[in-house]
Amino acid sequence: MSYTNGLDKPSDYFEAFAYTGDGNTKVNFTSDFTPDMTWFKVRNNTYDHQIHDSVRGVNAGYLDSATTVVEQSSYPIASFDSDGVTTVSGNITGVNKTSDLMCSFNWKAGTSFTNDASGTGIGSIDSAGSANQDAGFSICTYTNTNTNTIKHGLNVVPDVIIAKTRGVSGYWFLGSEKMLGSWNKKLNLNTTGAVATETRPFYPGSVAPTSTVFSSDQSVFGAGGSATETMVAYCFAEKQGYSKFGSYTGNGSASSGTFIYTGFKPSFFLQKKSSAAGNYWNIWGYTSASGSNPIGRRLFPNVGAVESNQDGSPMADFCSNGVKLRQTDSDYNGSGATYIYMAFAENPFVTSTGVPATAR
């Protein structure tokens, strides 16, 4: 079996990187591409998550996945480079402060677009963005007023959309038919809430996303239902051998935990209990004590907490074709509980040239 329609080298499009801050202005953390979206987190301190992207640009403040607040008034990034970023000065807190244990998650978009909706007939409002149709990732910005349709640039129906207000406080909304079962469901990235029915983020008027646009009702996003809101949306379409989005059921077993088939060796695994409230979001895969299995470290997108170190009681193994759970923790493997996940590859299970991946 080969992935003739997949991506043989995932590191051309996504890379997770753990490093120790050195206080320099140059931060090297990719080897194969200029990042268009970069998500930073300090692992050993309670600093904010920092999400930057090339569409909002270096003169836009970062967004924090753990809060409802507006773009921050800190502008630490001077440029997105072919091998990382350059900061505006050395020793930047949250990006490259000396001796901080850091991680960054990086996605490549790359093809810029602007859409004059009245001229193109695509969508009901103008948008601008950057899209990578090969890797199924796009970033789009727009000003939402009432209920609108917005060009996303993927040329296929998105599988996941994550959107956030920029100029007024508001929740992070995640919508996904693959993960949640319907576009009229939502999860909030910045809370511990369960999946809930809500049509306004991405299913107003029962209008689902298409291969060109997604629908959105602004009234649910901002504080007080602000009439006009600047927005950013991150859109993903699943690509064989590179990305996988879905759900799984925990079995509560430590000796033979649930196996989640992805079709590749993961580099990044974002998951959340969706069937009940009260459990954190988790990111796994950016590092481990030995750089290999088992996976014992995790970060929490919905809070600024320090990294959880479970090396003595690890959570999972990253296998050549998926994730094997190793504990009974309610956060990720409670018996009968439902969980959602987003995974990105380190290597496909089998490349288009027939080369198999190995586990960590």
State the burial class of residue 25 (Cβ atoms within 10 Å of its Cβ: 0-12, 13-18, 19+). Answer: middle
C-alpha to C-alpha distance for 116 and 344, rounded to whole angstroms: 32
| Residues whose CB falls within 8 Å of the CB of residue 290, separated by 6 or more in sequence, listed in order | none
Q: Is the pLDDT of residue 354 over 60?
A: no
Query: Cα angle at 164 between 162 and 169, to 5 degrees?
Result: 155
Q: Is the pLDDT of residue 1 over 50?
A: no
The pair of three-digit structure tokens given for residue 226, joined into one six-digit string: 């602000």
State the pLDDT at residue 4.
40
State the pLDDT at residue 115.
98
Distances, alpha carbon 171 to alpha carbons 27, 174, 180, 258, in Å: 30, 10, 18, 31
Q: Is the pLDDT of residue 225 over 70?
A: no
Indicate the domain borders of the chain.
10-107, 111-236, 243-348
* Highest mean pLDDT: which range of 172-176, 221-225, 349-353: 172-176
Mean of the pLDDT values across residues 327-341? Answer: 97
Q: How confident is the model at residue 6 (pLDDT cuts 50, 70, 90)?
A: low
Residue 79 CA to its chain's centroid (Å)? 21
State the pLDDT at residue 74.
85
pLDDT in tens, 29-88: 887 899 999 999 999 999 999 999 999 999 999 999 999 999 998 899 999 999 999 999
pLDDT in tens, 251-292: 999 999 999 999 999 999 999 999 999 999 999 988 765 567
Q: Is the pLDDT of residue 182 over 70?
A: yes
| Residues whose CB falls within 8 Å of the CB of residue 355, separated by 6 or more in sequence, listed in order | none
pLDDT in tens, 119-135: 999 999 999 999 999 99
Distances, alpha carbon 173 to alpha carbons 114, 152, 163, 197, 259, in Å: 24, 16, 5, 12, 27
State the pLDDT at residue 223.
64
